[in-house]
Amino acid sequence: MEKVLLVIGDAAEVTDTLYPYYRIPEDGYEIVVAGPEKRVYHLVQHDVHPDWDITVESKGYNFASDIAFCDVNADAYLGLVVSGGRAPEYLRYDEDLMQITQDFAAAGKPIASVCHGIEILAKAGIIEGKTVTTVAKCRYDAQVCGATYVDEPVVVDGNIVTARTFHDNTEWMREFMKVLNAARDAKESH
């Protein structure tokens, strides 16, 4: 069974995390959750309130990682999913995660990112020259790192599939599963 790595940390968005966590195994993949350490993390949920300029964050579920970034061998995985929420704000400084992300990109493996997850792809230097989407307030991260930002529910550019927010999860995972399944089919035919 092919494995897919799901990146989380404290303040990862609950819907950004749980939707791919349950959707990807439906196509026969094992999902492995990775964080800075192998431990329980605190997910958060984001809500829009008409009297706030930004989303309101509240406590979500506790969610355990299966493996620490330092113990991940990218060769053992077919795809990478980067959850959103505020976690990417600090995860992008984790050198092990940067190496993992760069290894996936160098191998042309499928990579999915939603919302603030673009901050990890941007810091890893893998979106230069790519067209991506993300939550509008993170468009600067994409643009300053050489990507073209578009405000669309999902964008596929080669092996990278990006989405704006959890409101786009259906489109995001539909497109990511096409890329992931094509990679699995190509691997099996060799």
**Residue 173 belongs to domain spanning:** 3-188
Give me the CATH number covering residue 126: 3.40.50.880
**73-95, pLDDT tens digit by residue?**
999 999 999 999 999 999 999 99
Span 127-176, pLDDT tens digits: 999 999 999 999 999 999 999 999 999 999 999 999 999 999 999 999 99
The yes-or-no answer on residue 116 being catalytic is yes
**What is the distance between the alpha carbons of residues 59 and 131, in angstroms, rounded to a whole number?**
33
What is the number of alpha carbons within 13 Å of residue 63 lying toward its C-beta? 26
| Plot region of 146 (φ>0 → left; ψ -120 to 50 → alpha; else → beta) | left
Catalytic hit among 42, 46, 116, 190: 116
**Inter-residue contact 131 to 148 (CB < 8 Å):** yes
**What whole-number distance in Å separates Cα of residue 46 and Cα of residue 88?**
15
Which residues does residue 79 pair with via DSSP β-bridges, in sequence order?
4
**pLDDT of 35 higher than 80:** yes
Domain count, the chain: 1
